[in-house]
Chain A
Amino acid sequence: MTIRNSLGFWLGVALLVLTSHTVNGQDRGFITVASTTSTQNSGLFDTLIPQFEAATGIAVRIVAVGTGQALRIGCNGDADAVLVHAPAAEQAFIDQGCGVDRREVMFNDFVLIGPRADPANVAAADSAIDAFARIATEQAAFASRGDDSGTHKKELSIWQAADIAPAGGWYRALGAGMGAALNTAAAMNAYVMSDRATWISFNNRQDLSIVYQGDPRLFNQYASVLVNPERHPIQYDLAQVWHNWLVSSAGQAAIADYRLRGQALFTPNAP
């Protein structure tokens, strides 16, 4: 085989390999949903999506990132719908013309995780604000997501309500997803705020446990928003089927039925 022929041969092989991917992807309709790491890491989608696909024949591709990035992906038209948890950011997403038709789907709550020894005595706090204030006063190590995610936005809102500007060596902004932040907090024996679903499904807890929970301020609402079809040529009709299914009785039952270690991870609350 001469060089010229062999180049042609390999080029042919490369094209064959490349095009074979395309064929695989297009034999069924699919939608892309940008969602959060909490919904993926908790395993929710692993039970939800097969039920949706069986009911509708539409495949769902989940891109799991922080809420901030999920909304940007939606705004760029790179997803057909988003499922996120930051009501103010969702409203801004709609106001900017990026999304339409926000619907509340389910909720759980945030919990404050920390070392069992609880050096800041957070367990005795009478509110989330008080718990955060105790950590700041004690200058106990605190791991912040620092990634513009829904959990990060919630954490910042609590610091603000406590009138504290967290800074200094004890406050560590990680710029990481929920699971990565929990791994880091476990290694540093630091306090960290997590959504309950990720915490329940997390397997590297080391010395960490829930040290504070239950304040209504820690409520965590998830909502589905469709990407504005007038902005980008998205799969609007298919995405609507998903959007409607999530809030239908079948979708809500599928969410309620998902339990891990004997606990419900999300509570459906579509109106």
Chain B
Amino acid sequence: MLDAFAGAAGLLLTGDPTLTHIVGLSLRVSLSAVLVASVLALPVGAALALFRFPGRTGVVVLLNALMGLPPVVAGLIVYILLSRAGPLGSLGLLFTPQAMVIVQSLLIFPIVAALTRQMVSDLWVEYREQLTSLGASRVRAIPSLLWDARFSLVTALLAGFGRAVAEVGAVLIVGGNIDGVTRVMTTAIALETNKGNLSLALALGVILMGLTLAVNAVAFAVGEFSRRRYGV
């Protein structure tokens, strides 16, 4: 264990270019996936909270269940879609970082949408009369409710980011773990484990956990700062 921490410190301090690229790619891919997924999931989650339609309960249950979508299955689906032999093969996206963004977005979307639905539902119960008495339609209410829930929604986004950055099965299938192109922290850890370099693998694991901690700390700090500055 001590070896691993010393190894992690050594790798970071020397600024190893391979490691820097791997860390950078992990962050870029997972943050992009959070952005792509959120743009779709926030409005969908809010709409599910406000609108009543036939089959709504089914959709909500399905969304909640998809939070447990196995990454390997997501990877397989995206592989089949993006393969040259598949329907989107002409795009040439397989084994690229974009393919990894797509598969991670697929994994994050249900998490962000389901959590958003829950948070906005709670707010809607609270503010419904106020908003409707001002004559706001439900569609118009969505942005204001999302804006009011923004500090809680950060937690939903962080849950999504955590899932994305920690995931290995899906990005291995659609990314291929190509050195310098699609190798991210988790696939590098799996590779070093397979080479029997257990302490190097653990060192990379320590760095990945540090990275996740840093992203969460920044999000928390920004949240606290805005809360104090602008109030809730």
Contacts and interface: CB of A to CB of B under 8 A. Distances in A.
A61 B178 contact: yes
What range describes how many residues of B lie at the interface? 20 to 34
The interface centre, meaning the residue of B36, B176, B177, B197 with most chain A CB atoms within 10 A of its CB, is B176
Interface stretch (A9-17, A100-108, A132-140, A149-157): A9-17
A63 interface: yes
Given A203-B197, A204-B196, A14 B32 contact: yes
B39 A11 contact: yes
Given A3-B143, A3-B147, A203-B195, A32 B84 contact: no
A201 B198 CA distance: 13
Contact of B181 (A40, A61, A183): A61
Interface stretch (A88-96, A121-129, A158-166, A173-181): A173-181
B101 to A, nearest CB: 6
B35 A22 contact: no
Q: Is the interface of A mostly helix, strand, loop or mixed?
A: helix
A37 interface: yes
Contact of A13 (B35, B143, B177): B35
A64 interface: yes
Interface stretch (B88-96, B160-168, B215-223): B88-96
A17 B113 CA distance: 22
A178 B196 CA distance: 10
A70 B92 CA distance: 18
Interface string A1-45: 011100100110110011001100100000010000100110001
Given A61-B95, A77-B85, A202 B39 contact: no
Contacts of B32: 14, 17-18
Interface in A54-87: 61-64, 75-78
A239 interface: no
Nearest to A41: B195
A247 interface: no
B98 interface: yes
Contacts of A11: 35, 39
Contacts of B28: 17, 21
Contacts of A10: 35, 38-39
Interface in A179-207: 179-180, 182-183, 201-205
A78 B98 contact: no
B181 A25 contact: yes
Contacts of A4: 143
Contact of B196 (A3, A21, A205, A234): A205
Interface string B46-88: 0000000000000000000000000000000000000111100
Given A14-B39, A41-B194, A78-B94, A3 B181 contact: no
16 contacts: A2-B143, A14-B36, A22-B98, A32-B178, A41-B191, A45-B179, A61-B181, A62-B179, A76-B86, A179-B196, A180-B193, A183-B193, A204-B197, A205-B196, A232-B85, A234-B84
Given A3-B147, A78-B85, A232-B84, 7 more contacts: A17-B32, A25-B96, A61-B179, A76-B86, A201-B195, A233-B84, A234-B84
Interface of B: 28, 31-32, 35-36, 38-39, 83-86, 89, 94-98, 101, 143-144, 146-147, 176-179, 181, 191, 193-198
